[in-house]
Structure 1
Amino acid sequence: MLGVVLLACVGCTSAYVSRDVVYFGTAKASFHITPKTEYQLFNYTCKNLLGGLVTLWWLHGGWTTFNQTRVKAYVDGETTPSFNIQVYTAVAMGFNDESHVPWGNTRLGSSGHQGAYNAIRIPFYRNFSMTLTMDSRETKNQTGWFYIRGLEATALQLGDSLFIPPSTGARLRVYTSENVTLQPLDYIDVVPKLMGRGALYAVTVMIQSKNFDVLEGCFRAYFNSSNENVTLLSSGTEEYFFSSSYFGAASNGFALPMSGLLHYHANTTLSAYRVHQVDPIIFNSGFRLRWRNGEKADPASGQKCTAIDSGNVIGHPGVSHVTFYAYVYQWP
């Protein structure tokens, strides 16, 4: 009797049969990278018509600016990459802070100097390619180490019960806002206005400001194509990462399965991550995610995040320099 994996899933036409599942991957030791070139780490074409899922990749490099090395992913022949990310920013190791190494969970982590792994799944249907580009300040050939793993005929799992097969055309996009300067009470689109269906899966952030009054800022989500009706994902920045009081009791940092604070310095800089594997933020008719640099409170009720133009400013938020990465799955 054949083993059958029964899925409650979006867009499934039949159950997957275990004999269809195929492992793929490779490892590269001491490969050489030339400055100012896009080096191909991996290229793979599915052997069947059921699509594939990259399950994990790991990278280590010996060059000084490794933390700003860029990795790009190209899916199914696209010429513009699905994502273009800096290795350390993608796992929330902002400001090149390795003080918490080794750390990790089932999706993100680092267990050695100048290295990191990323296990946020990458679905594709026919072909997947990954490349590496060193920071432009590197002028000499360098040496790296890399491996990648995946499975064909395997669905993307969100939460405990939702499965999205690659045949639906599901894609992982990483929306990046790098080194953006915000004035007090400015908004930033962590995820821009999107149409269609999908899920917010993870967010990493780096913040530099004169004080942490900016952490009064809330995360606001919009779940329709008109992006009018707001839903609060948190009533403060640190709450989104399961902390409180400007990360006060957690200022030494933490790395948990769903969230982490990997850098915190003198109430002026921080770097954190949030993974929505347990609580995926699903949308069906458009989505947008915004963060505010500081916040106002309604003068009548005292409630935060409800006053937009009116209200009382909380504390004295200053100019901030921020970087956000948002991992978002999208499907038709």
Structure 2
Amino acid sequence: MMSPVSVPVVTALSTVLCLVASAVPLGQQKTFGHAIKNGNLPPNTDVTTFEHRCTVPPCVITHVNVPSIYPKGGDAWNWTQGHVFFFVDGEKQPSISLTLLELAGEGHWNLAGTNAQSGDHMPDGSPWGTSLMGRTAKSGGVYSTLRVPFGKSIRTAIRAPASATQDSVFWFVIRGLEAHVVRLGDLELPAAARLRLHRLSPTKLEKLQLVDLASSPKGTSGALVRVQLDARSGSFGFLEACMRFFPDGAGEDEPIFLSSGAEDYFLGASYFDEGMFKTSQAGLTYFNRSSYTLAAYKTHIEDPVLWRDGMRLRFRNCEDTEGCGDVNHCPNKFCSAAASESSARSTEELPRAGAQHLKRERGSDAGDLAEYSALVFSYEWPRETSNFDDRRAMQVSALRNLGNLVSKAKLNEALEDAATDRILEGEEGVLSLLLAFSQDLSEEAAKRLARQLARRIQQTERLTQI
């Protein structure tokens, strides 16, 4: 006889089966979008370019393209300083506000092209582009495929450069998908994930001064997406700085070092001795050796940097290198956890490669002061959502393995019902057993799993009766 299944368990089973089914098949996705040609753009005015209400969540913007903003009436051609805005899920103020250059991943040093400029003569080396972003014309041609997720609604708007005194003309293209989850590389993000911007306004730093480029509060989980840095100084000494990441409440002596120098973080070397480059992983979009000025980006789509309970992303001007590494020192060796805990730094015993030992001779202290501005893109969601999704994923995988086992006729109905109850109740032993085996069970593995599952359930039933 089949064992009775309680109403709460039946309800929970229905919920989990719906969640399994919510991995929406390709046929459920639906494209939406719009384009505007020769749009009128009055000065000092936000013009709505698109609105959409999500009918089958999650929904996501997949493509934004702004061919250009043309001035009229003798206004300066400063399209680079035009803005686009994203109002997510009914926001009164946009959580995402970007200049057209920032949308393309470029630094604010870059200017609009002129008729005398093209190709290699452009200050950013454009035209250029990757799968994520680019700038394909001296008049604009900026685009982004960075996903902007939403659950209820999206509204986008555009604004002319602040220098505009007359109406401008603009072009705009946007597309997206309904019933489509956001993926970061090979990671599927929770439906609650939203794109966030962390902006550091131009900030001057003394030598060895630290600054947070981005931070997320405790209770927030997330992933870095893209880091853009604009920097200038009196020398390239600031490029000695190592990028530090403090996830999940890590202390000052517990940073994860994301680089062995600034240009290293942006996948360059030796103070960018080959000049500008742009790849899907990183790029240098502005580089002036004579004024020690640059703009660079690093993506973290194929190189995930994650946190579960808040974070800080910290950079500095120049560097001090010593020992195992901490908030004030970039490491010059690897230390095991035990060695790091017992290590007591001594300036007499350890070599120092601080600000006075750079990759090149500086010749003066003109580079001691550096100016940074930064834009950090991240996906973020409440930590509770992350924990729920982890538990849900475990239950879904366990139920699939259980279904596979039943299909091979290795379980009777009573054992199947009992195992289902324990999966939905989160019983660790049954979950561990079912998750330890792949879904592609061999005949022998299926027999072993069924036997161990029966043993575990019998043990828990005996314990319950005591």
Matched, 1:178 2:201: yes
Matched, 1:89 2:113: no
Deviation string, structure 1 residues 78-113 (Cα, Å, up to 9, x no partner): 123221222213433221254421111110101112
Q: Which residue of 2 aligns with 1:206?
A: 230
Corresponding letter in the other structure for 1:221: F
Q: Which runs of 4+ in 1 moved over 6 A?
A: none
- For 2:209 and 2:78, locate their aligned partners in 1 and report how far apart those are by CA, in whole Å: 31
* Greater shift in the superposed pair: 132-141 or 25-34: 132-141
**Which of 149, 152, 167 is residue 141 of structure 1 equivalent to?**
167
For the pair shown, the structure with the greater C-alpha radius of gyration is 2
Corresponding letter in the other structure for 1:260: G
Quote the RMSD (CA, aligned, Å): 2.4
The answer to whether the 8 Å contact 1:35/1:136 transfers is yes
The answer to whether the 8 Å contact 2:69/2:82 transfers is no
**Which of 287, 297, 300 is residue 276 of structure 1 equivalent to?**
300
For 1:217-232, list aligned pairs within 5 A. 217-225=241-249, 228=252, 229-232=254-257
Name stretches of at least 5 consecutive residues in structure 1 with no aligned partner: 1-10
Secondary structure in structure 2 of the residue aligned to 1:93: coil
- For 1:86 and 1:180, locate their aligned partners in 2 and report how far apart those are by CA, in whole Å: 19
Matched, 1:69 2:82: yes
- For 1:272 and 1:83, locate their aligned partners in 2 and report how far apart those are by CA, in whole Å: 20
- Normalized per residue, the structure richer in strand is 1
Secondary structure in structure 2 of the residue aligned to 1:175: strand
**Which of 292, 304, 314 is residue 290 of structure 1 equivalent to?**
314
**Which of 355, 378, 381 is residue 313 of structure 1 equivalent to?**
355
> How far off its partner does 1:183 sit?
2.1
- For 1:12 and 1:188, locate their aligned partners in 2 and report how far apart those are by CA, in whole Å: 44
> How far off its partner does 1:239 sit?
0.4
* Greater shift in the superposed pair: 138-147 or 85-94: 85-94
- Shift in CA distance, 211/74, structure 1 to aligned 2, threshold 3 Å: same
The answer to whether the 8 Å contact 2:105/2:134 transfers is no
Secondary structure in structure 2 of the residue aligned to 1:96: coil
**Which of 14, 28, 41 is residue 33 of structure 1 equivalent to?**
41
Corresponding letter in the other structure for 1:37: T
Q: Which residue of 1 aligns with 2:380?
A: 330
The answer to whether the 8 Å contact 2:215/2:310 transfers is no
Secondary structure in structure 1 of the residue aligned to 2:285: strand
> How far off its partner does 1:18 sit?
2.5
Secondary structure in structure 2 of the residue aligned to 1:135: coil
**Which of 146, 152, 172 is residue 120 of structure 1 equivalent to?**
146
Q: Which residue of 2 aligns with 1:54?
A: 61
> How far off its partner does 1:51 sit?
2.1
Deviation string, structure 1 residues 47-106 (Cα, Å, up to 9, x no partner): 22x221101101121242211122221110112322122221343322125442111111
**Which of 187, 190, 198 is residue 213 of structure 2 equivalent to?**
190
> How far off its partner does 1:300 sit?
11
The answer to whether the 8 Å contact 2:324/2:331 transfers is no
Secondary structure in structure 1 of the residue aligned to 2:102: helix
Corresponding letter in the other structure for 2:49: L
- For 1:183 and 1:130, locate their aligned partners in 2 and report how far apart those are by CA, in whole Å: 39
Q: Which residue of 1 aligns with 2:176?
A: 150
- For 2:201 and 2:70, locate their aligned partners in 1 and report how far apart those are by CA, in whole Å: 24
The answer to whether the 8 Å contact 2:196/2:380 transfers is yes
Deviation string, structure 1 residues 11-63 (Cα, Å, up to 9, x no partner): 87722122320100111011011111111121111122x22110110112124
> How far off its partner does 1:185 sit?
1.8
Give the structure-2-normalised TM-score. 0.63
* Greater shift in the superposed pair: 85-94 or 194-203: 85-94
- For 1:322 and 1:68, locate their aligned partners in 2 and report how far apart those are by CA, in whole Å: 19
Name stretches of at least 5 consecutive residues in structure 2 with no aligned partner: 1-18, 72-76, 112-121, 333-344, 359-364, 383-466
Deviation string, structure 1 residues 199-227 (Cα, Å, up to 9, x no partner): 00111111111111000011100111355
Secondary structure in structure 1 of the residue aligned to 2:271: helix
- Structure of greater relative contact order (alpha carbons < 8 Å, 6+ residues apart): 1
Give the structure-1-normalised TM-score. 0.88
Percent identity of the aligned residues?
Answer: 29
Secondary structure in structure 2 of the residue aligned to 1:214: helix
* Greater shift in the superposed pair: 85-94 or 274-283: 85-94
Corresponding letter in the other structure for 1:96: N
Secondary structure in structure 2 of the residue aligned to 1:184: coil
> How far off its partner does 1:130 sit?
1.3
